Amino acid sequence: MQAKVVVLAYHRVSEDPTSLCVKLDAFNKQLSFLSRRRFRNLSLNEYLNRLSEGKKLLVGKYVIITFDDGWSDNYITAFPILQKYGFGATIFLTVAYIGERKDYLTWDQVMEMKRAGFDFGSHTLTHPHLTKIPVAKARREIMESKELLEGRLGEEVNTFCYPYGDYNRDIINLVKEAGYQGAVVTPPSGRCEDSIYTIRRVGLYSSDTMLSFRVKTSRLPRAIAASGTLWTTAKKLKRCLRI
């Protein structure tokens, strides 16, 4: 058997009634499930290092937990629950928003989570659709966000996340050019190419039940994405199962 690695993508852990907000009780139950099922927590940086060095993971189940945007509830609500279960996470920051916008993280909160072992990656400066802006502006969003983050964190920033799951070959090349070691994507269609610069994530939302969470953390999503026939069938069942 091979090691199973699932990369989860959250935005917020909050009682707010929006699709991007996973409620506190649901988040707690999801982490409890991962803990009971003996998922080993793996940082995204560690995973990328192993891939680049050709080192295989020991057989088992691994979970990489990521958050997008840098919402303040990542610190206020999610951080204590993650620590309760001994899990870390990678948080992709929309750099221009940190310490500047209401409901986003402050730099002091970022540094506290960093001291606790959390990783941080870039989610650009201002969260644009990268394929819909001029190349020069996309380059700035990708490169300057990395430079600013590294200046604040005092360490190299190796990971990137495409806002809206929006990318193409030119954008991938800009990410490589900027010096990132890898990038993640939550593809809007659920499918994407399999590479170190398009690491596929499974999105978690307010509509997810424990059934859908169990399915999303199983081997099924990757098998479905790899099979045209299964993919067509899954799309027909998706609304019924709410996954």
Residue 234 has pLDDT above 80, yes or no: no
pLDDT at 24: 97
Instruction: Specify the number of domains making up the chain.
Output: 1
pLDDT at 158: 97
**Hey, is 213 helix, strand or coil?**
helix
Tokens of 238: 């998706």
Residue 89: CATH number of its domain: 3.20.20.370
pLDDT band at 222 (very low <50, low <70, confident <90, very high): low
pLDDT band at 219 (very low <50, low <70, confident <90, very high): confident
Length of the chain: 243
pLDDT at 18: 94
Give which of 3, 7, 27 is closest to 15, Cα–Cα: 27
> What average pLDDT score do residues 94-122 get?
97
- Mean of the per-residue pLDDT values of the chain: 90
Which residue matches tokens 């978690």? 204
The whole domain housing 147 covers 4-241
Residue 160 has pLDDT above 50, yes or no: yes
Q: Are 159 and 122 in contact (CB under 8 A)?
A: yes
pLDDT at 221: 59
Cβ neighbors of 78 (< 8 A, separation 6 or more) are 10, 13, 27, 67, 89
> What average pLDDT score do residues 186-201 get?
82
pLDDT at 57: 87
User: Which of 6-20, 44-58, 84-98, 132-146 has the least mean pLDDT?
Assistant: 44-58
Q: Are 71 and 110 in contact (CB under 8 A)?
A: no
71 secondary structure, DSSP code: B
Q: Are 228 and 234 in contact (CB under 8 A)?
A: no
pLDDT at 224: 54
pLDDT at 2: 76
92 secondary structure, DSSP code: E
40-99 confidence digits (pLDDT tens): 999 999 999 988 887 888 889 999 999 999 999 999 999 999 999 999 999 999 999 999
Residue 241 has pLDDT above 50, yes or no: no
Q: Are 10 and 66 in contact (CB under 8 A)?
A: yes
User: Which of 8-22, 47-61, 108-122, 146-160 has the least mean pLDDT?
Assistant: 47-61
Distance of alpha carbon 156 from alpha carbon 179, whole angstroms: 10
> What average pLDDT score do residues 145-169 get?
97
> What average pLDDT score do residues 114-137 get?
98
Task: Output 162-168 pairs: Cβ under 8 A, ≥24 positions apart.
Answer: 162/130, 163/94, 163/123, 163/124, 163/127, 163/128, 163/129, 163/130, 164/129, 164/188, 165/192, 166/129, 166/130, 166/131, 166/132, 167/130, 167/131, 167/198, 168/131
Distance of alpha carbon 12 from alpha carbon 115, whole angstroms: 21
25-39 confidence digits (pLDDT tens): 999 999 999 999 999
